[in-house]
Amino acid sequence: MTPAPGATAGAATACGTVQIAVNPWSGYAANVAVVSYLLREKLGCTVDAKDLTEADSWAGLADGTVDVILETWGHDDLRKKYIDDQKVAVELGLTGNKGVIGWYVPPWMAKTYPDITDYKKLNDYASLFRTEKSGDKGQFLAGDPSFVTNDATLIDNLGLDFTVVYAGSEDKLIAAFRKAQAEKTPLIGYFYEPQWLLSEIKLVHIPLPLYRPGCDADAEKVECDYQPYDLDKVGRKAFVDSGTPAATLLKNFTWTNADQNEVARDMTEKKMTADQAAEKWLEANRTVWEKWLPS
């Protein structure tokens, strides 16, 4: 394996194995690619990457099968359970990424139907979105069923004539938006940033009633937009307290949405391996990642 840029022979230290949860979206995979590369090549760690849902990742912090979650989207209930109550997990600081979840339409729709971005007018267009799967209601396309989502509740509480249909994965959600824009077919659905597709297709966000702290506290009554997130990392407390140099790198890891999107796009669209995409980014951003390393 090619050493990380600037690595020297014998750079390995007593790091041991780092168990990283891998959640099912490309931005998270980009985090894992770069962090794993540095853990292996600069600190001599063994990396055990595990494909898990968000909820299972948090449970892994408690049972010892996960050492770090590299990107968390809220989950106040899980934070209370594992950080505050059980005290088996600790916050590791911000990733630097700004997370936005919301409802989007392809740009051709916003241009053709300018008021479609007003959620109060969506029922006027519900018939456009009917599909075999949605029956007599408009289809609202969601992604992976394990993602953070209030969509079904929002649709009910805002009195919208839509029903949620799951694409099944991030890849399928991306493919659906691409097809809708290319073929000018109607589509409304869940999407988020950071996400590399937004550099290719300028999906148009539909604002919902303004988010205010606590407006989503009752999952059955939520009728506000999604919370904007300062994404962060969470680690297993025993792992962090062990003195491993990996914990220092993980705490220091921070980059931008543009950084993450670049690596994610290289892996997804350009079909680079995780190591190839990591090497490319590391070569171009030495001044960024050198600050992550233990002194």
Q: How many domains does the chain have?
A: 2
| Residues forming a β-bridge with 236 | 89
In-domain check, residue 7: no
- Compute the average pLDDT of residues 74-102: 94
13 confidence band (pLDDT: 50, 70, 90): very low
| Residues forming a β-bridge with 68 | 20, 235
Mean model confidence pLDDT for the chain: 93
8 confidence band (pLDDT: 50, 70, 90): very low
**Domain boundary pick from 173, 206, 239:** 206
74 confidence band (pLDDT: 50, 70, 90): confident
- pLDDT of 220 reads 93
> Half-sphere exposure of 293 toward its Cβ, with a 13 Å CA cutoff?
23
Q: Per DSSP, which regions of the chain are E strands?
A: 17-22, 46-51, 68-72, 89-105, 138-142, 162-166, 189-193, 204-206, 229-236
**Higher pLDDT pick, 148 / 43:** 43
Q: Is the pLDDT of residue 9 over 70?
A: no
Side chain identity at 207, as an amino acid letter? Answer: P
- pLDDT of 12 reads 42
Same domain, residue pair 74 and 125: no
- pLDDT of 3 reads 39
Distance (Å) of CA 92 to CA 29, 129, 254: 18, 42, 11
Q: Residue 267 belongs to what domain range?
A: 17-97+231-292
149 confidence band (pLDDT: 50, 70, 90): confident
Q: Is the pLDDT of residue 78 over 70?
A: yes
Distance (Å) of CA 14 to CA 8, 21, 41, 75: 16, 21, 13, 33
Whose structure tokens read 């007599």?
136
CA 129, 132, 169, 160 dihedral sign is positive
Same domain, residue pair 131 and 88: no
Same domain, residue pair 70 and 107: no
Same domain, residue pair 106 and 183: yes
Same domain, residue pair 275 and 235: yes
In-domain check, residue 270: yes
In-domain check, residue 46: yes
In-domain check, residue 5: no
- pLDDT of 128 reads 97
- pLDDT of 7 reads 42
- pLDDT of 63 reads 97
- Which CATH number goes with the domain that contains 51? 3.40.190.10
| Residues forming a β-bridge with 206 | 103
Query: Dihedral through CA 59, CA 60, CA 62, CA 63, nearest 10?
Result: 120
**Higher pLDDT pick, 121 / 147:** 121
In-domain check, residue 156: yes
Same domain, residue pair 87 and 105: no
**Domain boundary pick from 171, 206, 241:** 206
The H helix count followed by the E strand count for the chain is: 11, 9
For 79, counting Cβ atoms within 10 Å of its Cβ (0-12 exposed, 13-18 middle, 19+ buried), the class is middle
Give percent helix, percent strand, percent coil of the chain, each to the nearest 5.
45, 20, 35
Same domain, residue pair 85 and 117: no
- Compute the average pLDDT of residues 177-200: 95
**Higher pLDDT pick, 200 / 161:** 161
- Compute the average pLDDT of residues 263-277: 96
- Provide DSSP, 179-199: HHHHHT----EEEEES-GGGG
Same domain, residue pair 181 and 111: yes
In-domain check, residue 181: yes
Q: How far, in Å, CA of 58 to CA of 165, rounded? A: 26
Q: How far, in Å, CA of 15 to CA of 17, rounded? A: 7
Closest alpha carbon to 151 in 136, 167, 130 = 167
199 confidence band (pLDDT: 50, 70, 90): confident
- Which CATH number goes with the domain that contains 113? 3.40.190.100
Q: Write the CB contacts of 106 (distance below 8 Å, at least 6 apart in sequence).
A: 177, 180, 181, 187, 201, 203, 204
Same domain, residue pair 62 and 91: yes
Q: Is the pLDDT of residue 5 over 90?
A: no
Same domain, residue pair 105 and 202: yes
In-domain check, residue 197: yes
Same domain, residue pair 152 and 141: yes
pLDDT tens, position by position, 150-183 = 999 999 999 999 999 999 999 999 999 999 999 9
146 confidence band (pLDDT: 50, 70, 90): confident
241 confidence band (pLDDT: 50, 70, 90): very high
User: What separation, in Å, do the N-terminal and C-terminal C-alpha atoms of the chain show?
Assistant: 24
Same domain, residue pair 126 and 89: no
pLDDT tens, position by position, 16-57 = 999 999 999 999 999 999 999 999 999 999 999 999 999 999
In-domain check, residue 183: yes
- pLDDT of 11 reads 42
